[in-house]
Homo-oligomer: A and B are copies of this chain.
Amino acid sequence: MLIALDAMGGDHAPAAVVAGALLARRELGIEVALVGPRELVEAELRRDGPTPAGIEVVHASEAVAMDERPAQAVRAKRDASINVAMGLVKRGLADACVSAGNTGGVMASALMTLGRVPGIERPAIGTLAPFTERGILVLDVGANADVKPGYLVQFAQMGSVYAERVLGIANPRVALLNIGAEDTKGSELAQEAFARISRSGVNFVGNIEGGDVHRGRADVVVTDGFTGNVAVKVTEGVADFIFRELRATIYSRLRYKIAAAVLRPALIAMRERMDPGTYGGVPLLGVNGVVTIAHGNADPRTIRNALRAARDAASSGMLDTIRGVSGRKVS
């Protein structure tokens, strides 16, 4: 098992990415191919001392810069690190690809290099909402701003496969994000998707409202990429707001500060649980290879966790299952 890691992706690349690869190798035994300009990557590796076995460098002459339009850049720069990393997966030299680069760029590169799983109309980005121990898989959270009901049916199927094979949830419960619990609620899109997901073969438990996702009534929450993106970012924003306000409150009085010192380990544990970096990476489903997208401001720990998520996905066989599901006719 070898994971191709885009050394040039993310706000703190290549330093944080290289450090994350070393963490994953040492702590989790994951073998990593660091893809990027060889001299640059090797210089980063040397800071750490002798490079351990199981970490290799694959040369790519270019990188997508922060100020480029990512989707255009990956098409223009054939030798960009993200494209070379995807190419390793395409050629069967790596089992999965991880990047903390711009999501649009990773998606464009995956579609260009790996293509879609035959039968899948659109890929979807899944994320794990941090409300249960395993997380609740929400998809799509940004690959498709405009969708058709049929896409949502395939998101339900792919999400169900991921939850079962990668997260280890037997017969995962799939719900449709909607603005009411009753069958007939919601937008035209949601109503049509409801009817079709009901017939799709997944364990469909019906509609779920935004305020109920955290209650764990469903393992997989299906939505369009616009609503899903807003929902996931609001979740991060609200958590950020509450913890920031808590901190401000605590530092406003000495006696609060003392009490908070006692509570500190508990507060840190909670904050960490709500931190997207804890899961590390989110899956790009529907492309013909295992691809994990890490948060853009990934630190080494986040990269390590994204590599773990990619390894778990690659070893789960979920891609073969999605290939099987996508061949099934759904009306």
Contacts and interface: CB of A to CB of B under 8 A. Distances in A.
Interface of A: 131, 142, 145-146, 177, 179, 186-188, 190, 209-215, 223, 225-227, 229-242, 245-246, 249-250, 252-253, 255-256, 258-263, 266-267, 269-270, 273-274
Nearest to A264: B259
Nearest to A130: B241
Contacts of A225: 179
Contacts of A229: 179, 209-210
A281 B131 CA distance: 29
Contacts of A230: 177, 179, 209-210, 223, 227, 230-231
Contacts of A223: 230
B260 A233 contact: no
B188 A146 contact: yes
B249 A256 contact: no
Contact of A187 (B131, B226, B249): B226
B233 A210 contact: yes
- This chain's copy number in the assembly: 2
A49 to B, nearest CB: 38
Given A249-B270, A259-B259, 14 more contacts: A145-B188, A145-B190, A179-B225, A210-B230, A211-B236, A214-B241, A215-B237, A230-B231, A231-B231, A242-B270, A245-B270, A246-B267, A249-B263, A263-B263
Majority DSSP secondary structure for residues of A touching B: helix
Contacts of A261: 259
A210 to B, nearest CB: 3
A232 to B, nearest CB: 7
A165 to B, nearest CB: 27
Contacts of A212: 233, 237
A315 B297 CA distance: 48
Given A187-B226, A270-B245, A237 B260 contact: no
Contacts of A250: 263, 266
A234 B231 contact: yes
A248 to B, nearest CB: 10
B274 A263 contact: no
Contacts of A215: 237
Contacts of A236: 211
Contacts of A235: 234, 238
Nearest to A271: B242
Contacts of A259: 259-263
Contacts of A177: 230
A142 B256 CA distance: 40
